[in-house]
Structure 1
Amino acid sequence: MIKLFKVKEKQREIAENANGAPVKKQSAGELRLHKDISELNLPKTCTISFPSGKDDLMNFEVTIRPDEGYYLGGIFLFSFQVSPVYPHEAPKVKCKTKVDKHILFIYDGVFLYRFLNITVDKLMWYLRLGGLLISAVLCVQQPNHEDPLNHDAAAVLRDNPKMFESNVRRAMAGGYVGQTFFARCM
């Protein structure tokens, strides 16, 4: 075991000498996130990007473009901020696209993990990033009126799906639904 540490130390020294700068040690969360991202098998409706560059894996964006359901044709942008202690602390996810909070379980832009039946502070260590992303995609494609944050929108979805679809289309095209204005997201 000691030899392993000596080998790692030697590799770090070689890397420092080659670049002239010390090599940043990755946190356990960064290592786990790197593994999760490398294992991602995203559906064609999802893309991931790193606005700060590939050196900053802890902050990234995911774009979801549903290919079915009420939100077909919409573009929904989520930003992820991942803690160095990931997966013991859930990523902070914000939806940058203003949408009806009932559908995506978003409250003031903050994405809630309610659809997974877990709370942010109880994210299971074995839950992978891919599972969170797939769940978000399903949440967009198949809104659930049985466990809403917005009871009015849920009632419209349950009682009058055609009106709900009309409201979604109006919101995605850029317009008012009731008293709330939505920017175009198509």
Structure 2
Amino acid sequence: MLKIWSMKKEQEKAENAGEGTTAPAPKKKRVTAAQLRVQRDLAELSLGNTMTTEFPDPDNILSFILYIEPDEGMYKGGRFSFSFNVTPAFPHEPPKVLCREKIYHPNIDTEGKVCLNILREDWKPVLNLNAVIVGLQFLFLEPNASDPLNKEAADDLRNNRDGFKRNVRQAMAGGTVRGETYQRVLV
């Protein structure tokens, strides 16, 4: 919360600095509600040692990458990255989240779209980025075959859990599963 207030004070100071001078001070961009909320959400994140964030453009906190390295479950040993794009309508709209790797998962399709209820119909403005990140992490611990984007992976998980585990390992190693070639994500 302190960062938000100090950011606002700096903004006011910059606006007032131009008063009384002959040349107008350059206008500083106003901080949007979405930026303030994202800043607060990011300050409250507790990522632990299995996740990290990266900001390709340090001036744009509305677009960042989350890396997840599961330390348990079927996806243990992999490194997965998700692009987060937060719209100006945040928190009234959920962030847009895409998996950047092609992976074999019932809740992530081969184009990277993520099937997570809080990114769709169950989103509420009281939810924050931490809720989304925890949801993504949970998808690696407990893939959900009852709400799939990748129906073949969901069928494997439902009907042949051991076969599904083998397919996950093969896909994570950069192999081919059911005619689809996947990216190597093992670290």
Q: Given the two structures, how large is their TM-score scaled by the length of structure 1?
A: 0.83
In 2, are the aligned partners of 1:33 and 1:57 still within 8 Å (CA)? yes
Structure 2 match to 1:3? none
Matched, 1:111 2:111: no
Matched, 1:42 2:44: no
Larger fraction in helix:
1
Q: Percent identity?
A: 36
Structure 1 residues 67-146: aligned runs within 5 Å: 67-102=71-106, 104-106=107-109, 108-114=111-117, 116=118, 119=120, 123-146=123-146
Structure 1 letter corresponding to 2:112 = G
Residues 90-129 of structure 1 show CA distances to partners (whole Å, capped at 9, x for unaligned) of 1111110101251x33462222333x4x626x62010011
Tell me how far apart the structure 2 counterparts of residues 10 and 60 of structure 1 sit (CA, whole Å).
27
Residues 27-59 of structure 1 show CA distances to partners (whole Å, capped at 9, x for unaligned) of 110011111101111132111110112x21011
In 1, are the aligned partners of 2:99 and 2:108 still within 8 Å (CA)? no
Tell me how far apart the structure 2 counterparts of residues 9 and 97 of structure 1 sit (CA, whole Å).
39
Structure 2 letter corresponding to 1:80 = F
Cα RMSD (Å) of the superposition? 2.3
1:85/1:75 Cα in 2 relative to 1: closer, same or farther (>3 Å)?
same
Q: Given the two structures, how large is their TM-score scaled by the length of structure 2?
A: 0.82
In 2, are the aligned partners of 1:87 and 1:123 still within 8 Å (CA)? no
Structure 1 residues 55-74: aligned runs within 5 Å: 55-74=59-78
What 5-or-longer segments of structure 1 have no aligned partner?
1-6
| Residue from 1, 24, 31 that aligns with 1:26 | 31
In 2, are the aligned partners of 1:76 and 1:96 still within 8 Å (CA)? yes
